[in-house]
């Protein structure tokens, strides 16, 4: 009884006891045992109180951690998006500079010979292609991959956007080369079919 009076002799002391039990400043089992000996309903209500408070505290703590994790993940995602955008912007600028360096005659387009010559004679240009992971197949193979319409020249937009699609490991270039070959085969096939139809349409009736 003395212990009960010590912990519950007034309303403020009782509140402080409840706070100590929840925060770990007092052993709730000892208090529950004392209340249980006085009257079982007291022990039952006290146990329910402890259960509710523990669940509330656990939910609050869990909510704080989850909220922090979500905010951190969102911040990392936004940072990654911003970093990716900055890399692509820098890549766009670098590729335009490379194009103008390759365009020796200032025609606004580059040929396979110009690309091959500058990659041989300009070490800084080769380093740029190496940094962009575009040196896996050399000048001729890279040009063939970019020149999908087989015009024999590359315009600045065709060169820049094509290189941006190819940046990455050499495996990506291999995949692009395979896709490019398929496109060229399809392009040639369609052109031949069109020529055959034209010839058939102009052929005299027998």
Tens digit of pLDDT for each residue in 97-137?
Answer: 888 888 878 888 888 888 888 777 766 666 666 666 665 55
CB 129 within 8 A of CB 98: yes
206 residues of the chain, pLDDT tens digit each: 566 666 666 767 777 777 777 666 677 677 777 777 777 887 787 788 777 877 787 788 888 888 888 888 888 888 888 887 888 888 888 888 888 888 878 888 888 888 888 777 766 666 666 666 665 556 777 788 788 777 888 888 888 888 777 765 544 555 666 677 777 777 778 888 877 877 777 766 55
CB 163, CB 94: distance < 8 Å: no
Residue 71 to residue 180: CA distance in whole angstroms = 43
119 — phi, psi (to 5°)? Answer: -70, -25
Smallest CA-to-CA distance from 115 within 131, 130, 101 is with 101
């Amino acid at each position: 009884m003395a212990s009960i009076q010590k912990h519950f002799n007034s309303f403020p002391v009782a509140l402080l006891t409840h706070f100590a039990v929840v925060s770990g400043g007092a052993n709730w089992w000892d208090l529950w045992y004392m209340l249980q000996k006085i009257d079982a309903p007291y022990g039952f209500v006290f146990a329910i109180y402890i259960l509710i408070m523990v669940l509330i505290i656990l939910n609050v703590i869990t909510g704080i951690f989850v909220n922090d994790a979500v905010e951190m993940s969102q911040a990392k995602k936004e940072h990654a998006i911003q970093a990716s955008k900055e890399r692509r912007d820098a890549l766009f600028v670098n590729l335009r500079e490379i194009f103008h360096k390759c365009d020796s005659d200032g025609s606004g387009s580059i040929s396979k010979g110009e690309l091959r010559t500058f990659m041989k004679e300009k070490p800084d240009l080769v380093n740029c292609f190496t940094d962009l992971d575009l040196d896996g197949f050399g000048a001729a193979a890279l040009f063939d991959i970019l020149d999908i319409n087989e015009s024999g020249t590359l315009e600045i937009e065709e060169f820049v956007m094509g290189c941006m699609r190819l940046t990455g490991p050499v495996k990506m270039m291999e995949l692009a080369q395979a896709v490019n070959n398929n496109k060229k085969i399809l392009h040639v096939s369609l052109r031949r079919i069109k020529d055959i139809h034209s010839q058939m349409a102009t052929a005299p009736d027998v």
